[in-house]
Amino acid sequence: MRIVKKKLPLIIFIIFCVVLSLSYGIGSYFVNYALAPHITNEEVQEKINESELNQEELMIYKNSLKETQKGLEFQKKTKPMNVSSFDHILLQSQYYQNKDVHNWVIVIHGYQSQNTEMMSYGARYAEAGWNVLLPDNRAHGKSQGDYIGMGWLDKEDIASWVRWIVKRDSQAQIVLHGVSMGGATAMMCSGDQLEHVIGYIEDCGYTSVWDIFASELKNQFSLPTFPILDISNIVAEMKAGYNFKDASSIEQVKKSKQPILFIHGGQDDFVPTEMVYKCYDAATCEKDLFVVDKAGHAEARNYNPKNYWNKVFSFINEKMLTN
**8 A C-beta contact, residue 57 and residue 296:** no
Q: What is the pLDDT of residues 184-224, one digit of tens each?
A: 999 999 999 999 999 999 999 999 999 999 999 898 888 88
Q: Residue 46: its pLDDT value, please? A: 58
Q: Is 71 helix (H, G, I), strand (E, B) or coil?
A: helix
Of the candidates 288, 287, 296, the one whose C-alpha atom is nearest the C-alpha of residue 264 is 296
Which residues, 6 or more positions from 187, have their beta carbon under 8 angstroms from its beta carbon?
Answer: 151, 200, 202, 205, 249, 252, 253, 260, 279
Cis amide bond preceding 224, omega within 30:
no
Distances (CA, A) of 38 to 138, 236, 249: 12, 17, 25
What confidence score (pLDDT) does residue 196 get? 97
Measured CA to CA, the distance from residue 117 to residue 94 in angstroms comes to 12
**For 157-180, what is each residue's pLDDT tens digit?**
999 999 999 999 999 999 999 999
User: Mean pLDDT across the stretch 56-75?
Assistant: 94
**pLDDT of 19 strictly over 50:** no
pLDDT tens-digit readout, 250-297 = 999 999 999 999 999 999 999 999 999 999 999 999 999 999 999 999
CA–CA separation, 111 vs 49, rounded Å? 25
The yes-or-no verdict on residue 68 having pLDDT over 80 is: yes
Q: How far apart are CA 35 and CA 16, in angstroms?
A: 27
Three-class SS of 44-60: CCCCCCHHHCCHHHHHH
Q: How far apart are CA 188 and CA 255, in angstroms?
A: 10
Q: What are phi and psi of 197, to 5 degrees?
A: -85, 125
Q: Which of 56-60, 136-140, 175-179 has the lowest mean pLDDT?
A: 56-60
**pLDDT one-digit tens code per residue, 264-277:** 999 999 999 999 99
pLDDT of residue 49: 75
Q: Give the model's confidence band at 322: pLDDT under 50 very low, under 70 low, under 90 confident, else very high.
A: low
DSSP bridge partners of 93: 81, 135
User: Rounded distance, CA 111 to CA 308, Å?
Assistant: 22
In angstroms, the CA 262 to CA 271 distance is 13
Residue 254: DSSP 8-state = T
- The Cα 24–Cα 95 span in angstroms is 41
**Among candidates 164, 109, 163, which has minimal Cα distance to 141?**
109
Measure the CA–CA gap between 33 and 240, rounded to whole angstroms: 13
H-type helices in the chain, by residue range? 2-35, 55-75, 119-127, 152-168, 181-190, 209-221, 228-239, 249-253, 274-282, 300-303, 305-315
pLDDT digits (tens, 9 = 90+) for 97-115: 987 899 999 999 999 999 9
The closest of 217, 162, 163, 158 to 184, measured between CA atoms, is 158
Phi, psi of 261 (to 5 degrees): -100, 120
pLDDT at 43 over 50: no
Give CB contacts under 8 A, 24+ apart, made by 120-125: 120/67, 120/68, 120/70, 120/71, 120/74, 121/71, 121/177, 121/179, 121/301, 122/71, 122/74, 122/78, 122/96, 123/67, 123/70, 123/71, 123/73, 123/74, 124/70, 124/309, 125/177
Q: Is 285 helix (H, G, I), strand (E, B) or coil?
A: coil
Contact of 94 with 169, CB cutoff 8 Å: no
Q: What distance in Å separates the CA atoms of residue 7 and residue 54, rounded to the nearest whole number?
A: 68
